[in-house]
Amino acid sequence: MSGEVALDTSVAIRFLNGDVAITERVLTLTESDRFINQLLRFEN
């Protein structure tokens, strides 16, 4: 998962706190990327 953002609690907090780097990366994810990422997180 090199270069990808896992949608976990720390990313959510950084996003809500306005972390520019995280905000840009999260907002560039497509809906399918988000769905796949969430599925992978639940499987682990």
Q: What is the pLDDT of residues 3-39, one digit of tens each?
A: 566 667 888 888 889 999 888 887 777 776 777 777 7
Residue 17: its pLDDT value, please? 93
Residue 3: its pLDDT value, please? 57
For residues 2-17, b (16+ Cβ closer than 10 Å) or e, as one string? eeebebeeebeebbee
**Nearest partner of 33 among 13, 5, 11, judged by Cα:** 5
Residues 35 and 39: their CA atoms lie apart, in Å, by 6
Structure tokens at 13: 């907090």
- Residue pair 22/14 in contact (Cβ under 8 Å)? The answer is yes
Q: pTM, whole model, 2 decimals? A: 0.49
